[in-house]
């Protein structure tokens, strides 16, 4: 009999576009696109599950999407070097159509985290399966040029919000990508130097104003905590054990009810408990000797599945502000279900705990 883990892997594979892109959700009206952030973690789950061809296809799709925009990135970098003020609408998109286009629906574009996360996921995949990364060189170089120029700038966060801030999870995602690609020696000397300079700057920001009272914070100048910060601990490993523990404890105590909130005050579908973040908390717990707690997170995520075995984006049993549920439902319909990112984090946590496919 197939396990729930294997079923999640198969669900992801069924919905992967022939070109390699993963839709955020195949059923939700505005999630029929591929985000580099979501897609990279979905590819990481498939890579860990041994679905090498699926992860290969995604990374190949990303490489084609990025190399197709080489001239645009070069123009942006040159404009920045000339000291020009760049309209954020000129920056690379946050999400792409499944065939690699920009799309024509308005969205909260200009998010840097996905590009850093892609570099990290690519390196993880090629190392895990002993794949030569050289065919990705051009796309990696273009991405590094982009991030080495803009990687510390203010932009939208993981949640498409607050473009005026420098978000610590975004800084961490970019840092993780640059650090990963520097370690495999794929860059020429000039790019490696530029990437190393930006990485050092990002690490200074994260360890400096990005850390308050022993915990990472939502954005520079804030004292709040955000569930996306878990990525800076696991898997990126960007902070000291003390800061990792302080951040973990804040997420666990301030943002967790049964599942984990994105942040306090969230009103998207009332601000419910997110499956990816609950699994992420468990992922960190599994990595830090808290397997019993991690299994509790896995069980909770499993319990949120629909009769079809689909995992939603969030659930509303402990919603922060239920008055907003109707507003978002009227706008876009019920909560996105299935969300492929939820299935991916479920797979990652389950495999981390030794569960079988």
Query: By C-alpha distance, which of 292, 291, 302 is closest to 345?
Result: 302
Average pLDDT over residues 5-27: 98
**Phi, psi angles (nearest 5°) of residue 261:** -75, 160
User: 141 Cβ partners below 8 Å, 6+ apart?
Assistant: 187, 188, 191
Quick check: 123 and 176 in contact, CB under 8 A?
A: no
Q: Which of 188, 194, 248 is nearest to 216 (CA)?
A: 248
pLDDT of residue 1: 66
User: Which pTM does this prediction carry?
Assistant: 0.98
CA 325 to chain CA centroid, Å, is 25
285 found inside a domain = yes
At 2, is the pLDDT very low, low, confident or very high (cuts 50, 70, 90)? confident
pLDDT attached to residue 284: 98
Q: What is the pLDDT of residue 105?
A: 85
CA distances from 53 to 6, 14, 117, 124, 287 (A): 16, 13, 19, 15, 27
Q: Hey, how many other C-beta atoms are within 10 angstroms of the C-beta on 157?
A: 25
Mean pLDDT estimate for the chain: 97
Catalytic residue among 10, 102, 153, 160: 160
Domain-embedded: residue 35: yes
The stretch 235-260 carries a mean pLDDT of 98
Q: What is the pLDDT of residues 62-118, one digit of tens each?
A: 999 999 999 999 999 999 999 999 999 999 999 999 999 998 888 889 999 999 999
Gap between the Cα atoms of 357 and 352, Å rounded:
12
For residue 136, report the phi and psi dihedrals to the nearest 5 degrees. -95, 5
Radius of gyration, alpha carbons of the chain: 19
Distance in angstroms (rounded) separating the CA atoms of residues 57 and 352: 24
What is the distance between the alpha carbons of residues 7 and 342, in angstroms, rounded to a whole number? 13
* 84 part of the active site: no
Instruction: Check residue 254 and report its DSSP letter.
Output: I
Nearest residue to 280 (alpha-carbon basis) of 266, 264, 270, 293: 293
What is residue 104's predicted lDDT score, i.e. its pLDDT?
A: 83
Percentage of the chain lying above the pLDDT 90 cut: 97
Looking at the structure of the chain, the number of domains it has is 1
Respond yes or no: is residue 188 known to be catalytic. no
Average pLDDT of the residues in 350-357? 95
SS3 261: coil
pLDDT in tens, 314-323: 999 999 999 9
Residue 45 included in any domain: yes
The answer to whether position 14 is within a domain reads yes
284-341 pLDDT, tens per residue?
999 999 999 999 999 999 999 999 999 999 999 999 999 999 999 999 999 999 999 9
Residue 324 to residue 270: CA distance in whole angstroms? 5
Domain that holds residue 76: 4-352
Helix axes of 340-352 and 36-48: crossing angle, nearest 10 degrees: 40
Catalytic residue among 141, 157, 266, 352: 157
Q: Is 160 a catalytic residue?
A: yes
Predicted local confidence at residue 106, as pLDDT: 86
Asked whether residue 28 is domain-assigned, the answer is: yes
Residue 357 maps to a domain: no
Model confidence pLDDT, tens digit, residues 167-183: 999 999 999 999 999 99
Note the pLDDT of residue 261. Answer: 98
Phi-psi region of 268 (alpha: psi -120 to 50; beta: other; left: phi over 0): beta
**What is the average per-residue pLDDT within 31-50?**
98
CATH number of the domain enclosing 210: 1.50.10.10
- Give exposure, 193-219, as e/b (b: 16+ Cβ within 10 Å): ebbeebbeebbebbeeebbbeebbbbb
Within a domain: residue 330?
Answer: yes
Task: Identify whether 132 is part of a domain.
Answer: yes
What confidence tens digit (pLDDT) does each residue in 181-196 have?
999 999 999 999 999 9
The span from the CA of 95 to the CA of 97, in Å, is 7
On whether the CB atoms of residues 114 and 137 are closer than 8 A, the answer is no
Give the pLDDT confidence score for residue 328 in this predicted structure: 97
Cβ atoms of residues 40 and 57 within 8 Å: no
Average pLDDT over residues 238-265: 98
Q: Are 138 and 64 in contact (CB under 8 A)?
A: no
pLDDT of 351 above 70 = yes
- State the pLDDT at residue 168: 98
* CA 275/CA 285 separation, integer angstroms: 15
């Amino acid at each position: 009999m197939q396990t729930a883990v294997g079923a999640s892997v198969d669900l992801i594979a069924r919905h992967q576009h022939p070109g390699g892109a993963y839709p955020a959700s195949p059923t939700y009206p505005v999630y029929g696109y591929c985000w580099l952030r979501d897609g990279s973690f979905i590819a990481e789950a498939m890579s860990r599950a041994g679905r090498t061809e699926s992860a290969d296809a995604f990374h190949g799709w990303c490489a084609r999407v990025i190399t197709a925009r080489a001239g645009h990135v070069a123009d942006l970098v040159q404009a920045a070097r000339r000291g020009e003020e760049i309209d954020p609408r000129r920056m690379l998109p946050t999400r792409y159509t499944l065939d690699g286009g920009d799309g024509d629906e308005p969205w909260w574009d200009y998010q840097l985290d996905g590009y850093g996360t892609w570099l990290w996921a690519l390196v993880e995949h090629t190392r895990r399966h002993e794949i030569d990364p050289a065919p990705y060189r051009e796309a990696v170089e273009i991405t590094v040029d982009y991030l080495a120029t803009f990687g510390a700038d203010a932009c939208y966060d993981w949640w498409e919000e607050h473009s005026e801030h420098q978000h610590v999870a975004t800084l961490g995602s970019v840092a993780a990508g640059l650090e990963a690609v520097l370690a495999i020696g794929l860059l020429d000397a000039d790019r490696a130097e530029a990437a190393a300079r930006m990485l050092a700057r990002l690490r200074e920001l994260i360890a400096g104003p990005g850390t308050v009272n022993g915990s990472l914070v939502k954005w520079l100048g804030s004292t709040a905590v955000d569930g996306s910060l878990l990525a800076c601990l696991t898997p990126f490993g960007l902070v000291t054990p003390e800061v990792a523990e302080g951040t973990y404890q804040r997420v666990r105590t301030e943002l967790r009810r049964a599942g984990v909130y994105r942040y306090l005050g969230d009103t998207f579908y009332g601000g419910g408990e997110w499956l990816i973040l609950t699994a992420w908390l468990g992922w960190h717990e599994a990595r830090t000797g808290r397997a019993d707690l991690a299994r509790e997170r896995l069980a909770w995520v499993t319990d949120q599945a629909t009769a079809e075995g689909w995992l939603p984006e969030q659930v509303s049993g402990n919603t922060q502000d239920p008055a907003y549920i109707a507003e978002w439902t009227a706008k876009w319909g019920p909560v996105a279900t299935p969300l492929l990112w939820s299935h991916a984090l479920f797979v990652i946590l389950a495999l981390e705990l030794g569960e079988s496919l």
